[in-house]
């Protein structure tokens, strides 16, 4: 890796400090108004605070700041607690990396982008994080591979099907919304028990505890997810998170998260039937999901009528990573890292 030790003149590169968020958001919105064009809606402070300050696992944010307080560059990450064969560790999802338009002369690399990112990666290593990952645009991927040890794991495939009539569901399984997961509640205990069973069958995945699900899906400002549980009698046997409007594939709704211990066909059909019905109610045409191609769900959903659609047909999503923990090799991640759309900022 090429070493870059100095930032451009008149900028200070440092970790986030309380109060930086207003300047961060000003630059963020300048950058993404330009990138996304007409129709872009500015990111607001409540969402920023939810994503970074409210995350139960903390945050990873570094900024390059000018003397007048402008955030010239930003490199941000959302940590997730992850279960692995060696115990629980932290994966950090790189979600917001950008440079103010006035400081982009350095984007020819290494430049301010790399100068801000390098101490961010060093900080993750010192903290003991195991993996950093993200879905960079092609230009950022090229710079990251040259200077930041980015490695591409795969181009993401979508699983997609139209919202035709669903097959008959198992009559012993009922599906109902989960609207609260308060700490210490019975519903939280049931979800934690479900994850304990699900975790035993998968080697590497985000810890989908009630605390995590509450933060990720029940509290984000301005974003609506539907969390539903599947029951047999009084026993929770499955969980799904649904987003009713997603444009990764045009005119879609999406399965954002999923827990079905034992890959139970009756539970799977009940949850898919609910997703199809809710998508039709929302006037959507397609149902999509993302699972690693090594996962049982990748095969199970194809048997349930889904087809594999490369993201390259829409806006290609390239999963890149850097490993800090020596026991998590690329072959291990390729074979055993279990993830959904909820492990990304794509929804």
Q: Does the pLDDT value for residue 79 go beyond 90? A: yes
Q: Does the pLDDT value for residue 157 go beyond 90? A: yes
Q: How confident is the model at residue 9 (pLDDT cuts 50, 70, 90)?
A: low
Q: Say what the pLDDT of residue 7 is.
A: 54
Q: Say what the pLDDT of residue 106 is.
A: 47
**How many whole angstroms separate alpha carbon 217 and alpha carbon 243?**
10
Q: Does the pLDDT value for residue 81 go beyond 80? A: yes
Q: How many residues does the chain have?
A: 347
Residue 107 · residue 99 · CB < 8 Å: yes
Q: Does the pLDDT value for residue 275 go beyond 60? A: yes
Write the DSSP string, 326-341.
TT--HHHHHHHEE--G
Task: For residue 296, give the H/E element and its range.
Answer: helix 296-303
Cis bond upstream, residue 159 (ω within 30): no
* Residues 129-141: tens digit of each pLDDT: 999 999 998 888 9
Count the Cβ atoms, other than its own, within 10 Å of residue 11.
Answer: 20
- Distances, alpha carbon 139 to alpha carbons 40, 64, 74, 102, 202, in Å: 21, 20, 16, 18, 34
**How many whole angstroms separate alpha carbon 189 and alpha carbon 130?**
28
Minimum mean pLDDT range among 79-88, 140-149, 237-246:
140-149
Q: Does the pLDDT value for residue 46 go beyond 70? A: yes
**How many whole angstroms separate alpha carbon 154 and alpha carbon 317?**
9
Q: Does the pLDDT value for residue 32 go beyond 70? A: yes
Q: Say what the pLDDT of residue 100 is.
A: 95
- The alpha helices in 165-256, defined as continuous H runs, are 186-199, 210-213
Q: How confident is the model at residue 315 (pLDDT cuts 50, 70, 90)?
A: confident
Residue 134 · residue 125 · CB < 8 Å: no
Q: Say what the pLDDT of residue 2 is.
A: 35
Q: How confident is the model at residue 109 (pLDDT cuts 50, 70, 90)?
A: low
Q: Say what the pLDDT of residue 164 is.
A: 84
Q: Does the pLDDT value for residue 44 go beyond 80? A: yes
Arithmetic mean of pLDDT, 64-86? 97
Three-state secondary structure call for residue 49: helix
Global pTM value:
0.93
**How far, in whole angstroms, is CA 327 from its chain's centroid?**
23
Q: Does the pLDDT value for residue 107 go beyond 50? A: no
Q: Say what the pLDDT of residue 211 is.
A: 98
**How many whole angstroms separate alpha carbon 57 and alpha carbon 91?**
10
Q: Say what the pLDDT of residue 212 is.
A: 98
What residues have CB less than 8 Å from 179, skipping those under 6 apart?
218, 227
Q: Say what the pLDDT of residue 108 is.
A: 53
**How many whole angstroms separate alpha carbon 165 and alpha carbon 152?**
38
Arithmetic mean of pLDDT, 328-345? 96
The percent of residues above 70 in pLDDT, for the chain, comes to 96
Mean pLDDT of all residues in the chain?
A: 93
Largest CA distance in the chain: 68
Q: Say what the pLDDT of residue 168 is.
A: 72
**Side-chain half-sphere CA neighbours of 277 within 13 A:** 11
Q: Say what the pLDDT of residue 139 is.
A: 84
**Side-chain half-sphere CA neighbours of 20 within 13 A:** 23
Arithmetic mean of pLDDT, 270-286? 95
Q: Please indicate whether residue 8 or residue 82 has the higher confidence score (pLDDT).
A: 82
The β-bridge partners of 243 are 254
* Residues 166-219: tens digit of each pLDDT: 777 788 999 999 999 999 999 999 999 999 999 999 999 999 999 999 999 999
**How many whole angstroms separate alpha carbon 139 and alpha carbon 283?**
36
- Enter the DSSP assignment of 69: S
């Amino acid at each position: 890796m090429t070493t870059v030790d100095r930032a451009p003149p008149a900028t200070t590169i440092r970790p986030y400090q309380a109060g930086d968020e207003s300047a961060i958001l000003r630059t963020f919105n300048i950058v993404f108004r330009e990138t996304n064009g007409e129709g872009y809606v500015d990111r607001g402070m409540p969402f920023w605070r939810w994503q970074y300050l409210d995350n139960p696992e903390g945050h990873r944010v570094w900024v390059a700041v000018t003397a007048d307080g402008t955030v010239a560059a930003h490199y941000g990450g959302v940590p997730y607690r992850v279960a692995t064969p060696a115990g629980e560790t932290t994966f950090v999802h790189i979600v917001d990396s950008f440079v103010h338009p006035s400081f982009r002369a350095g984007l020819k690399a290494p430049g301010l982008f790399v100068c801000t990112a390098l101490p961010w990666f060093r900080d993750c290593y010192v903290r003991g994080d195991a993996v950093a990952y993200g879905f960079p645009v092609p230009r950022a991927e090229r710079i990251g591979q040259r200077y930041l040890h980015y490695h591409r794991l795969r181009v993401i495939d979508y699983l997609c099907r139209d919202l035709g009539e669903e097959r008959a569901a198992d009559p012993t399984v009922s599906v109902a919304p989960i609207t609260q997961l308060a700490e210490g509640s019975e519903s939280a205990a049931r979800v934690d028990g479900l994850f304990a069973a699900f975790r035993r069958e998968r080697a590497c995945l985000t810890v989908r505890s009630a605390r995590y699900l509450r933060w990720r899906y029940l509290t984000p400002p301005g974003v609506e997810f539907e969390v539903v549980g599947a029951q047999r009698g009084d026993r929770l046997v499955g969980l799904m998170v649904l987003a009713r409007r997603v444009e990764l594939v045009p005119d879609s709704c999406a399965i954002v998260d999923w827990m079905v211990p034992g890959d139970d066909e009756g539970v799977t059909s009940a949850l898919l039937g609910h997703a199809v019905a809710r998508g039709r109610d929302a006037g959507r045409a397609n149902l999509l999901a993302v699972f690693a191609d090594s996962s049982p769900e990748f095969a199970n959903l194809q048997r349930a009528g889904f087809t594999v659609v490369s993201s390259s047909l829409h806006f290609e999503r390239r999963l890149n990573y850097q490993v800090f923990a020596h026991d998590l090799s690329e072959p291990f991640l390729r074979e055993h890292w279990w993830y959904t759309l909820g492990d990304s900022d794509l929804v």
